[in-house]
């Protein structure tokens, strides 16, 4: 019995774990260190090869033969981050388009009805275009990080300690940026909700039968907080067929639809940012736990090799 235990100890010391990073994941193999010929892939004994992979994505990929490139790519696809990116692009596109159109209609309405030149709104329109470009760039960068942290790609990219540290830092930075952007978009959502509510009130006032027949004027005296203090008293009343049409039909009716769509798109953007936070948190955990999982799997493979060697000695 003592001789057998000594042989097992010697064999365990001679085992050398080798981790190869193949297309389907990181595959751990054990072979004898004292055999020079066994160090080559062709002459290595099959008894000392482990069929277990430290990547859970490679187990399914290895069961297929060559030529299944599509299936291999599917295991590397960050579907959650991809879905969040699609939501982000759709939301930002609708938001910028509707807000640009709504701001243009508001400029025309205030110019023709209240004789006010809102030059600062034109600057906001340019800001909308910058927001669209920056949010799209952020979405694609987070999607790229998701590709690097998914499936077998993670084992190829984050092999060393330094690369894993950089990966965790990148995920943490994007998490902070996404969290700040989420707060900003919540503020924008509150502002849009107020604007949409005010335009809805204006539209209800325009629906009055006496307003449509031009028997009464639209009195906006209760909305003085929306206008500058030097506005004339008669400008608070919208009277006449031309002004009513410019205010209701050409301004409020069309702009209200734009602001409603902008509010809904803002909700979609916030939802995509929350989705990004979940994906980045998961990627951070995967990168951080990759090293521990790799060491645990190698220890398990070494134990299996010891049991295999013990069973061979028994027979």
pLDDT digits (tens, 9 = 90+) for 53-81: 444 444 444 444 444 666 666 666 677 88
| pTM reported for the whole predicted model | 0.67
Distance separating alpha carbons of residues 101 and 124, to the nearest angstrom? 12
Angle between the N-to-C axes of helices 79-113 and 120-148, in degrees from 0 to 180, rounded to the nearest 10:
180
Distance separating alpha carbons of residues 230 and 256, to the nearest angstrom? 27
Q: Which of 45-49, 123-127, 237-241 has the lowest mean pLDDT?
A: 45-49
**Whose CA is closest to 19, among 285, 288, 291?**
291
Q: Tell me: the pLDDT tens digits for 138-191?
A: 988 888 887 776 655 555 656 666 667 777 888 889 999 999 999 999 999 999
């Amino acid at each position: 019995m003592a001789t057998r235990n000594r042989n097992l100890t010697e064999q365990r010391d001679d085992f050398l774990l080798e981790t190869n990073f193949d297309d389907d994941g990181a595959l751990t193999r054990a072979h004898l260190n004292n055999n020079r010929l066994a160090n080559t892939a062709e002459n290595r004994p099959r008894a000392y090869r482990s069929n277990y992979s430290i990547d859970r994505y490679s187990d399914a990929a290895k069961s297929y033969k060559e030529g299944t490139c599509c299936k291999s790519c599917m295991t590397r696809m960050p579907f959650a981050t991809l879905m969040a990116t699609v939501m982000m692009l759709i939301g930002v596109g609708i938001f910028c388009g509707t807000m640009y159109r709504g701001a243009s209609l508001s400029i025309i309405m205030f110019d023709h009805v209240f004789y006010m030149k809102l030059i600062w709104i034109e600057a906001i329109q340019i800001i909308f275009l910058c927001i669209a470009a920056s949010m799209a760039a952020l979405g694609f960068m987070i999607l790229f990080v998701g590709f690097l942290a998914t499936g077998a790609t993670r084992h190829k990219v984050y092999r060393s300690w330094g690369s894993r540290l950089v990966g965790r830092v990148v995920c943490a930075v994007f998490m902070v940026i996404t969290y700040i952007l989420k707060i900003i978009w919540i503020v924008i959502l509150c502002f849009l909700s107020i604007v949409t509510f005010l335009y809805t009130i204006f539209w209800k006032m325009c629906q009055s039968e006496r307003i449509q027949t031009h028997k009464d004027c639209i009195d906006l005296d209760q909305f003085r907080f929306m206008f500058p203090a030097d506005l004339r008293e008669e400008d608070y009343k919208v009277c006449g067929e031309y002004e009513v049409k410019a205010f209701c039909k050409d301004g409020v009716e069309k702009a209200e639809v734009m602001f409603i769509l902008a509010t809904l798109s803002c909700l979609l953007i916030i939802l995509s940012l929350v989705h990004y936070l979940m994906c980045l948190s998961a990627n951070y955990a995967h990168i951080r736990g990759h090293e521990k999982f790799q060491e645990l799997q190698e220890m398990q493979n070494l134990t299996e090799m010891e049991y295999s060697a013990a069973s061979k000695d028994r027979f």
